[in-house]
Amino acid sequence: MRVPLLDLTEQYRALEGELSEALQRVLTSQQFILGPEVEGLEQEVARYCGARHGVGVSSGTDALLLSLQALGVGPGHEVVTPAFSFFATAEAILRVGARPVFADIEPGTFNLDPEKAARAVGPKTRALLPVHLFGQCAALGPLSELARAHGLFLIEDAAQATGAEGEGGRAGSVGDAGCLSFYPTKNLGGWGEGGMVLVREAPLAERLRRLRDHGAGEPYTHQEVGGNFRLDALQAAILRVKLRHLDDWIASRIERARRYGELLEEEGLAGREVRPPALSAGRHVFHLYVIRAQRRDALREPLAARGIQTGVYYPLPLHLQPCLASLSYFPGDFPESERASREVLALPLYAELPEEAQRCVVRAIRDFYHRG
Ligand SMILES: *Cc1c(COP(=O)(O)O)cnc(C)c1O
């Protein structure tokens, strides 16, 4: 049995009619950039996430970049962020000319440890940029408190967590800005690149709208230097259809995550050779189902041989990335992030994943540890 990490073909088959209709609407209008589809998506996603304003942009990475720029984070500033994330989080900070100051993660949730974040705050710190990794919110209560106590902006990297719930609300709605990604593999994924910034304050939303369109407040009058970070109407039309089904898909992912936990438990693996993900309060939307596994790299081989695809997010923590050597971090600086990089393993998960496939995955893991 072949078990891919992610398979979107069934989702597409089920929605083909609705999606074709949405595409047709855009094709008939011949309006491809911004416009009513993007505005509709902005309102619907903002409402879904419990945010006041949504600004559609060209990707999750650009959502991060524009959030930092719109909040005035730049040269001379520091931004505290976890050492364990996708590279885009640190990249956005560097692209605005600020310096990422890494802090270690909590071993259970893989998310930024608020106490370690507090120790990383200094006189140059301007913002906290936690990541809701794998679909579970970081400790938003303590992090909001920390931001308030030091007068810092709180920017949420919610790229993996559309629809997740944490302390204070849904992912992306709690901080000064929340960044979503609509990359095709994300829980709410389009058919190309896309992202959104969620904000509370209307003037900030206005600035983001300006920045995504070359900093122009009115046509051909440029108040500041922005760029082309616009979302296109085809993506928006597709995403509006998919948003209507997101809660069902999330429920289905949660169900399958629970089943993995039970199966790993039944095989006597949980808490021994492998450690299923730890849940904090709220709603984990399981963008990825990530376990810790002993001898992780050796385990992947027999799984692959049986047609079971797995993923490693992420094999190298941010502070050890070659291009960040000038920040002068070294191995040993963030032991939990480094350990996570050695142990994490994403198992196949998507809303339509059959129970038999899950049993097949867990049997293969059992065979590796108990016979291998
Ligand atoms: C996907 C992702 C991004 C970037 O989103 P893109 O839409 O791919 O640019 C940023 N941060 C995290 C944690 C992500 O998973």
The binding-site residues of ligand 1, defined as CB within 6 angstroms of any ligand atom, are 59-61, 85-86, 88-89, 131, 157, 159-160, 181, 183, 195
Q: How far is the first Cα of the chain from the last one, in angstroms, to the nearest whole number?
A: 20
Exposed e or buried b for every residue in 114-139, given b needs 16+ CB within 10 A? bebbbebbeeebbbbbbbbbbbbbbb
The answer to whether the bond into 314 is cis (omega within 30° of 0) is yes
How many A from CA of 86 to the centre of ligand 1?
7
Distance of CA 341 from the midpoint of ligand 1 (Å): 18
Residue 195 CA, closest ligand 1 atom number: 7
Contact at 8 Å (CB) between 204 and 69? no
Query: Strands 195-199 and 53-57, how do they pair?
Result: antiparallel
Query: Which residue shows structure tokens 């419990």?
Result: 50
Single pTM value for the model: 0.98
User: 127-144, pLDDT tens digit by residue?
Assistant: 999 999 999 999 999 999
CA 244 / ligand 1 centre spacing (Å): 22
Rounded to the nearest angstrom, the distance between the alpha carbon of 236 and the centre of ligand 1 is 18
| Structure confidence by residue, pLDDT tens digits, 41-65 | 999 999 999 999 999 999 999 999 9
Q: Is 90 exceeded by the pLDDT of residue 174?
A: yes
Q: Which residues pair with 289 in a beta bridge?
A: 347
Q: Which two tokens stand for residue 39?
A: 């505005």
CA distance 350 to 187: 9
Which atom, in ligand 1's list, is nearest to the CA of 85?
13
Q: What is the predicted pLDDT for the residue at 1?
A: 85
In contact, 309 and 185? CB cutoff 8 Å:
no
Based on C-alpha coordinates, what's the Rg of the chain? 21
Top mutation candidate among 110, 155, 160 for ligand 1, by most atoms within 8 Å of CB: 160
Sorting pLDDT into bands at 50, 70 and 90, what band is 296?
very high
Spacing, Cα 88 to ligand 1 middle (Å): 6
Residue type, 135: G
**The predicted structure's pLDDT at residue 123:** 98
Instruction: Tell me the pLDDT tens digit for each residue of 184-217.
Output: 999 999 999 999 999 999 999 999 999 999 999 8
- CA separation for the pair 181, 273 (Å, rounded): 33
